[in-house]
Amino acid sequence: MQADTIITNARVLTMDPDHPRAEAIALKAGRIVAVGLRAAVEALTGPQTQIIDADGRTVLPGFVESHLHLVLGGAELAHLHVGGLYGPEALRAAFAGFAARHPEAPLLMAQGGTYTMLDAPMTRADLDKVLPDRPIAITAADHHTVWANTAALKAAGILHGMACPHGHEVVMGADGLATGELREFEAFAPVIALGGEARLNLGIATGEEPSPWPSEAEMAIDRAKVAAGLRHCAAHGITSMVNMDGNRFTLDLLDGLRREGKLSARVKVPFHFKPHMGLEALDRAEAMTRDFADDWLQCGFVKMFMDGVIDSRTAYMLNDYPGQPGYRAEPLFAPARFAEVAVEADRRGLQIAVHAIGDGAVRNTIDGYAAAARANGLRDMRHRIEHIELIDRADIARLAALGIVASVQPPHAPGAMDFAKQPTLDMIGAARWQDAYLCATLAGQGARIAFASDWPVTDVSVLRGLGAALTRPSYAGGVNECLGLMESLHAYTAGGAWAAHREGLTGTLRAGLAADVVMLTGDIESARPESVADMGVALTICGGQITYQA
Ligand SMILES: [Zn+2]
């Protein structure tokens, strides 16, 4: 046998516990055919074999990004980025330049806003001063709030308010007009629509399909945005991803990219189950699962939101928010209702992934998974909880015992990467810091860990995420929650693949598995934890094809 590609002279970390280290790897027809010592692997060299000399650099399984929003991330690459900007002057300058570069844009959309960009909560009046005559809006980095100026609210038809489903809100002022703050996806959907991205927002906002179904020309515009997102992820070494919003339309866009030869990663896309849906909506999840079930595009799971986020105080807590007696926010699914959906999805063999940030939301979710296990038997479902920013100690052992995946994002911990410690930590309250953003504690009690960025909520860079996992701060009263290098790498590779039911396909470097490989720009084991974030990706291979080369 002759290999198509051999990567040799490498420090290969296979993530395969039986053979954790190797020097070389051979690929053929999209699969790994050998992993081992140089001599054995190089014996597969033929006249056509491409030899890549790694020069002692680290080679790993292609990264598995376990929680991201590919379609939104791809579209946002073209938006204005205001992360790190503070004060009206900085915003004015940024928007002035962006407006000049986009004279025809119906909406000037910015990303990466923080809740403390201005000294007081941002209003449409503040944004009118930034740019009065054209619609502008800023999405919070967490993507759960949008702030819009008066022109944008008017153009979107929501200046006088709008009825929204529970948990979503066009915030109204004393003057009877919208303040400019729009909480959660359905409240800001009309503003997003101004920018021509309503279709791309459906997967996260409503889970519904575009109606009418887009024309081929519209599909091509959308595909180009998703393709940009895929290229961006390939440059960060990502070969598999679990999208955390979706509908059939998302899968159709990706299928179109596959036909164009642009699908550079394996993508799982969920059916998004919203609180108003009846159980029969799971028929659509099953149909998506049936129609997309190969090594590249899969459904197979249901995404739900149990609550919002801490910074807008929509995360559902077991205790009152500090300084707000009696206020804990509310779950988006009442416990009995969630249990009913979980039992039925589980019965149908669908994996479930629930966004749960507050400790109340986490408990509701565990309770529902426990109900599913009681009703249908505890099977290997690998139901997941996304985020777990706060958890009651009593729930950690339950989570592990039920085999629930802890899908956590190292960059989200305040102070770990781009998110400041405040105001988030104050909103949690010092009394609860010991149980906030746990990672090592969850792993230590037996929870299966998968790491991710939640891009575009944070930078999709896996190396920066690794850096955050290795160096994140501890909070008063808590313990060091950093995982070690190998455990962290595992959570970005084999752990993520397992959490996605794809360990038989990818996530480790083992003969027979898909040829999904990443080569770093150096030897990660000799790097100090503080400098891991500065390393780069030299080469990404997915399914045997080079998808990125530095
Ligand atoms: Zn997310």
Residues 6+ apart with CB under 8 A from 297: 251, 254, 255, 258, 263, 266, 267, 268, 269
Compute, in angstroms, the gap from residue 6 CA to the centroid of ligand 1: 36
C-alpha of residue 149 to centroid of ligand 1, in Å: 26
Residue 67 main-chain phi, psi, to 5 deg: -160, 105
- pLDDT of residue 368 exceeding 90, the answer is yes
Average pLDDT, the chain: 96
Model pLDDT, residue 380: 96
Q: How far away, in angstroms, is 404 Cα from ligand 1 center?
A: 18
Residue 201 alpha carbon to ligand 1 centre in Å: 13
Sign of the Cα torsion 18, 537, 529, 421 reads negative
Closest by CA position to 12, among listed 46, 49, 62:
62
The rounded Å distance from CA 234 to ligand 1 centre is 19
Q: What is the pLDDT of residue 163?
A: 95
Distance CA(225)–CA(203), nearest Å, equals 15
Instruction: Report the separation in Å between the CA atom of 39 and the middle of ligand 1, taken as the mean of its atom positions.
Output: 44
- Distance from residue 410's CA to the centre of ligand 1 (Å): 13
Span from the CA of 523 to the centroid of ligand 1 (angstroms): 31
Distance 142 CA to ligand 1 centre (A): 8
Q: pTM value?
A: 0.94
What's the pLDDT at 312? 87
Centre of ligand 1 to C-alpha 456, Å, is 8
The SS3 assignment for 473 reads coil
Compute the C-alpha angle 124/125/131, nearest 5°. 85
Instruction: Find the 357 Cα to ligand 1 centroid distance in Å.
Output: 11
**According to the 3-state scheme, what is the secondary structure of 488-533?**
HHHHCCHHHHHHCCCCCCCCCCCCCCECCEEEECCCHHHCCHHHHH
Average pLDDT over residues 324-348: 97
Dist. CA 178 → ligand 1 center (Å)? 26
- Cα 394 to middle of ligand 1, angstroms: 25
**Angstrom distance (rounded) from CA 282 to CA 232:** 32
* DSSP assignment letter at 257: H
Encoded amino acid at 94, one letter: A
Compute the distance between CA of residue 113 and CA of residue 164 in angstroms, rounded to an integer. 23
Whether pLDDT at 323 is above 90: yes
Residues in the chain: 550
Residue 387 pLDDT? 98
Eight-state DSSP code of residue 46:
-
Section 453-457 average pLDDT: 96
Answer yes or no: are the C-beta atoms of 111 and 276 closer than 8 Å.
no
C-alpha–C-alpha distance, residues 72 and 243, integer Å? 10
Q: How far is the CA of 244 from the centre of ligand 1 (A)?
A: 6
What pLDDT is attached to residue 84? 87
Determine the Cα–Cα distance for residues 18 and 375; give it in Å rounded to an integer: 36
Kindly give the distance from the C-alpha atom of residue 93 to the centroid of ligand 1, in angstroms, as a whole number: 30
pLDDT value of residue 115: 87
Report pLDDT for 26.
Answer: 98
CA 507 to each of CA 61, 236, 496, 504: distance values in angstroms, whole numbers, following the listed order = 6, 15, 7, 8
151-160 tens-digit pLDDT = 999 999 999 9
* Percent of the chain scoring above 90 in pLDDT: 94
Ligand 1 center–CA 327 separation, angstroms: 24
What mean pLDDT is predicted for residues 468-488?
Answer: 96
From ligand 1's centre to the CA of 272, what distance in Å? 12
Q: pLDDT category, 185, cuts 50, 70, 90?
A: confident
Q: Convert the pLDDT of each residue in 248-300 to its tens digit.
A: 999 999 999 999 999 999 999 999 999 999 999 999 999 999 999 999 999 99
What separation in Å is there between the alpha carbon of 246 and the centre of ligand 1? 11
- HSE value, Cβ hemisphere, 13 Å, CA-based, for 97: 10
What is the model's pLDDT at position 455?
A: 97
Compute, in angstroms, the gap from residue 144 CA to the centroid of ligand 1.
10
